[in-house]
Amino acid sequence: MKTAIAYFGTEQFAAEILTALIESDKFEIKFVVTQPDRPVGRKQELQKSPVKLVTEKFGIKIEQPDSLKNWKLEIGNWKLNIVCQYGLIIPKNIIDAPTLGSINVHPSLLPKYRGASPIQSAIINGETKTGVSIMIMDEKMDHGDILAQQEIAIAPDDTFPILHNKLLEIAKPLIVNTAQKWVEQKIKPIEQNHNEATFCKMFTRENGRIDWKKSAREIYNLYRGLQPWPGIFTTADGKRIKLLKIVLAKKSAGAGEIIFKNQKLFVGCGEGAIEILELQNEGKNALSATAWINGNKNINKFE
């Protein structure tokens, strides 16, 4: 017999988790709650969330409130809320509405990296491992007792999209199996060590600004974590330049100093150097390093 659940989610990771729950054939999704369609791009055209696209594909009832603060939840006969990347505060009355409460899928090894950007933050901070946590929800952010965790290694060259997909591959079976065990009361929650909690934030374009006094590895980690958005950038002569593809290099130069050698573009860092393979001046097309060098030979340092 399928277990009736409600699902709260918005982003791509959440859409994949929802699909896994549907395809597991262990759950009946009574309804899905996702964020309202948002204006995107220069034309500000309304775009459906990834979770909404999945919901429509499978013909599931959907709700899109601007806020859950005063949202009237119709009490029904479902046992559990499952939440992943919903992005809005869920009040206690909704968390506690079903018989078994609410559980959350979070892509970090809680209590580390509570908050909105756990995958990006783990990469940027140079972590060598991360994972997925399934926890019971309470009123505090990513604070509840742990039901299950699974760890994976972060490879030195993993970017956000690569690690995102690696985490999905373990998260999908983990949530299906853990939710089923929770329904069957075959799992014992474990309290988090709240003294070890760390928190992460939403990123903006400005977070991608390069500080050339940092080491090459730190800059490379920033690049890996902020791919594909918002990306990393520097400036020269007051103009913004986005670095689209970089690798670590064995060179020596001052912080921000540009080295042209054999039609290659290197930049010195506080420690070590990077090689830029592809970059883009603001408002212009993306260029290979060789093409960029030919049009910018007067620039000898990034700011």
Residue whose structure tokens are 């592809």: 278
In angstroms, the CA 120 to CA 236 distance is: 27
Phi and psi torsions of 163, nearest 5°: -70, -35
Type of residue found at 50: P
In angstroms, the CA 33 to CA 128 distance is: 34
User: CA dist 67 to 44, 90, 91, 237, 242, Å?
Assistant: 21, 9, 10, 44, 35
In angstroms, the CA 249 to CA 239 distance is: 25
Residue 67 known to bind ligand: no
**Helix (H) / strand (E) containing 102:** strand 102-106
Residue 109 known to bind ligand: yes
Report the binding-site residues for (6S)-5,6,7,8-tetrahydrofolate.
108-111
Report the binding-site residues.
108-111
